[in-house]
Structure 1
Amino acid sequence: MVDPQRILSVSELNRMARELLETSFPLFWISGEISNLTRAASGHWYFSLKDQGAQVRCVMFRSRNAYLDWSPREGDKVEARAVVTLYEARGDFQLTIEFLQRAGLGNLFEAYEKLKNQLAAEGLFAAEHKIAIPAHPRQIGIVTSPDAAALRDVLTTLRRRMPAVNVIIYPTPVQGKGAAKLIADAIRTADQRAECDVLIVCRGGGSIEDLWQFNEEIVARAIHVCTLPVISAVGHETDFTIADFVADVRAPTPTAAAELTTPDRSSLLNTLLQHRNRLARSMQNLLQQRSQHLDYLSRRLLSPMQQAEHKRQHLSQLRLRLTQAMARQLQRQHQHLQAVQQSLAHLNPRAVLQRGYALVEKLNGELVQDSNQLAPGDQVKLTLSKGSAQAEIRDKGT
């Protein structure tokens, strides 16, 4: 409580009033019509919200309005999430706007969340239903309006990244009454024809009302039953539609969808060049290794002439060794022969005869070695060193 006897300054009064207002009014929603809209150089927005009976000053700071994907205009019916405050310097009562949307969007968001929860419960968003996007599609289908800027973005990106890929457009309105059914029909037509490897469903950015056709159940179910892999590229990066959740892949923009469906030609060529250079280096290294190995083998390999020379040298060595062996063998045999000859010479009876002895034989050739072999009157033959003689035995001793 303020002491009634206390004299307040204007600044104190305004500060106390601001604190009272901010604590008494939590964050709340308010609806009204925009008037006196001013966009300051600082980026802040200043305007009034009014209805038939009153108006209130508002400010939306740049840190908040930067998140809006649409720009309000004079006379727009809006719904704002705000807090009550007081601008102390002038004592102006005002609202600080935290979020701003077009009037009626609350119902749209409610419908959006309800359908999203229903389809999620049915399993339409489940990962096991997702189909992989082919890495190198030969033909790409696009479901969109022929006049849409999104189509030009997609085609430009495809020509830049992979000009050889074929494109089939399945034209359909993407905005307005009845567009959801036509979009679903175009998706079913692409699926039935089965002439594409991947299907892009796209449109450019816009308000939630502009994108609402892609939040319709008929479009979600058409995407779900499509046997072609589907990429949803609706609106800007911050926009999320039911189609995004059902599709096999969500692309933040149509341009990003084109990038997802095609490899970058320049990147492929660069990768191919890198592989070629790596292969060339590998081949060069292999050839150098084989060349070095060949040099090593060639140093070990002898020519036929060198081999013949080695054989001749070996043969000469064998001949020399054989000759030496034969010579040694002949020498040993000669020595043995001499020894035998000496032994024979010693045993030769004629050698004994040469010393004056005689060999006595009976006439029948019997060698007489014992006198008992003889009797007086026997005729014997005497063999001398030179010649022989006959004799008669007259007497014999013992």
Structure 2
Amino acid sequence: MAERLPEPVLPQVISVAELNRIARDLLERSLPLMWVAGEISNFKRYESGHCYFTLKDGAAQVDCVMFRHRAQLAGWLPQDGMRVEVRALATLYEARGRFQLNVEAMRRAGLGALYEAFERLKAKLEKDGLFDPARKRPLPRFPRAVGVVTSPQAAALRDVLATLAKRMARLPVILYPTPVQGEGAGGRIAAAIALAGARRDCDVLILCRGGGSIEDLWAFNEEAVARAIRDCAVPVVTGIGHETDFTIADFAADARAPTPTAAAALASPARDELAKLLAQDAHRLLRAARRALEYRMQGVDLLSRRLVHPGERIRNQLGELRHLATRLAGAWERGREDLGWQARELRLRLREGIRRRLAAEAVLLERLEAHLRHLNPQSVLERGYSITESAAGGIVRDAARLAVGEDVTISFARGRVGAQVNRKA
């Protein structure tokens, strides 16, 4: 019972406008915001966006108005004959003295119980950890096959198949057929998910259906479906209804897409994007290989200019020596013919010169021979170094190229031994 309000002190005569204002104030203060159930009739939506209709039952009726900013939040269009529940404030339209309800929210009759059941199950499963983000698995980037759990007659299946064919034409698709609404649909959906997880014929599973009312989508709000998703051995992507539709299955899934088409895009790689990335990687690899080869060719050229073989140097010196000998012989002949009296002196000078020259060349030759011995690999081995060869006969310069357990051959200054790699430092 509403609390009785004190009667207002009224003048002996009041206007009609004042009467209606007092009545409106009494109504709005006496009756709280409440839910009222009834059937819609005479529904009309004006260009302004405001909605006017009559709410009736078998015994009475009441005029209702739902202003635009409230009607936009309904998400569906009411029609005559619908059973609804409205959250409204009883008031009086003063200009006409007409009793009416100002509607703030509207839902289909019976949906209140469904929403309450939805929230209770959601809270229970969330408490059990089924929605924990840490339990959600990443989707495979390159699945070998995609599974689809839906009705074979569903339009959602056609959308999924068309999207998969466009993104990756040769990707195998496995259908696990099941009804997606109606009596027992939830249990059959859960069984199809369990079958896909047990067979493991696919790397990712799409659970989908088209849009509909909350009653149409209710099979996806059953606990058995949510637990089957979490127990499934492969990641599950949901694409149920439209973007504004959320089900318990969406919260339990590893990934949620707003539509079946978007779910197919999440579960499959894009062929064109992969081809583009592959071409870019191939171009970068070719460019890097060409650049590395050019750097090494330049390095070889630089080393070849700096390196002179000792034998070549000896040959150059011997050539110069032969040239000097030829010049010397010519000078000797000319000197003997023209300067006989200087023959002895020249002979002495020649002998001395030859001696010094040969001594210098001998010193140089010894130095070159020592340098050649230094470059000899045998000399390196004599200093305690060794040469390690792989089983294929190649010289090992990098320990990273050997594997534990691989056989190798080690050459010392005197002798060779076989060995096996036991560990790598």
- TM-based fold match above 0.5: yes
Q: 2:40 aligns with which of 17, 34, 53?
A: 34
In 2, Cα distance between equivalents of 1:183 and 1:329: 108
Partner residue in 2 for 1:396: none
Q: Bigger CA drift: 54-63 or 34-43?
A: 54-63
Q: 1:177 to 1:327 in 2, by over 3 A?
A: closer
Q: Structure 2 CA distance, aligned partners of 1:172 and 1:132?
A: 26
2:146 alignment partner, SS class: strand
Match of 1:390 in 2: none
Moved more, 52-61 or 26-35: 52-61
Indicate how the Cα distance of structure 1 residues 181 and 309 shifts in structure 2: closer, same or farther if over 3 A, else same.
same
Q: How far apart in 2 are the matches of 1:246 and 1:186? A: 16
Range moving further from structure 2, 175-184 or 51-60: 51-60
> Against the structure 1 CA distance between its residues 327 and 152, is the aligned structure 2 distance closer, same or farther, given a 3 Å change threshold?
closer
- Which segment is superposed worse, 65-74 or 102-111? 65-74
> Which runs of structure 2 are paired with 1:14-163 in the superposition (5 Å)?
21-87=27-93, 90-163=96-169
Aligned to 1:237: 243
The Cα of 1:300 is off from its aligned counterpart by: 4.4
Q: Which of residues 178, 195, 202 in structure 1 aligns to 2:184?
A: 178
TM-score, normalised relative to structure 1: 0.69
Deviation at residue 55 of structure 1 after TM alignment: 2.2
- Give, in whole Å, the separation in 2 of the partners of 1:17 and 1:158: 64
Deviation of the 1:88 alpha carbon:
5.3
2: CA distance, partners of 1:61 / 1:159: 46
1:192 to 180, 191, 198: 198
- Report the 3-state secondary structure (helix = DSSP H, G, I; strand = E; otherwise coil) of the residue aligned with 1:182: helix
Match of 1:270 among 276, 280, 296: 276
Amino acid at match of 1:196: C
Q: Does structure 2 retain, via aligned residues, the 8 Å contact 1:69–1:207?
A: no
Match in the other structure for 1:386:
none
Name the aligned partner's letter for residue 160 of structure 2.
Answer: V
Matched to 1:4, the amino acid is P
TM-score by length of 2: 0.65
| 1:144/1:201 contact within 8 Å kept | yes
Q: What CA distance in whole angstroms lies between the structure 1 residues aligned with 2:231 and 2:131?
A: 12
Q: Could you list the runs of 5+ residues in structure 1 that have no partner in the other structure? A: 331-398
Which 5+ residue runs of structure 2 have no aligned equivalent?
1-7, 328-348, 357-425
Pairing 1:261–2:267 present:
yes
Deviation of 1:164 (Å): 1.6
**1:82·1:96 contact (CA, 8 Å) conserved in 2?**
yes
Please report how far the alpha carbon of residue 258 of structure 1 lies from its aligned counterpart in structure 2 after TM superposition: 0.9
Tell which structure's C-alpha radius of gyration is larger.
1
Once the two structures are TM-superposed, the CA of residue 286 in structure 1 deviates from its matched residue by 3.1
Instruction: Measure how far apart 1:45 and its partner are.
Output: 2.6
- The aligned residue for residue 4 of structure 1 is 11
Opposite residue 193 of structure 2, the aligned amino acid is: I
Q: Please name the residue that 2:256 is paired with.
A: 250
Q: Is the 8 A contact 1:32 1:79 kept in 2?
A: yes
Q: What does the per-residue CA deviation read over 1:143-162, in whole Å, with 9 as the maximum and x for residues that have no partner?
A: 11111111112111111111
Worse-superposed segment, 246-255 or 167-176: 246-255
Separation of aligned partners in 1, 2:314 and 2:73: 95
Give the CA RMSD over aligned residues: 3.7
| Helix, strand or coil at the partner of 1:99 | strand
Contact 1:131 1:229 in 2 (8 A): yes
SS at match of 1:83: strand
Give the match's secondary structure for 1:240.
coil
2:371 maps to none
Q: How many residues align?
A: 327
Distance 2:209 2:10 in 1: 64
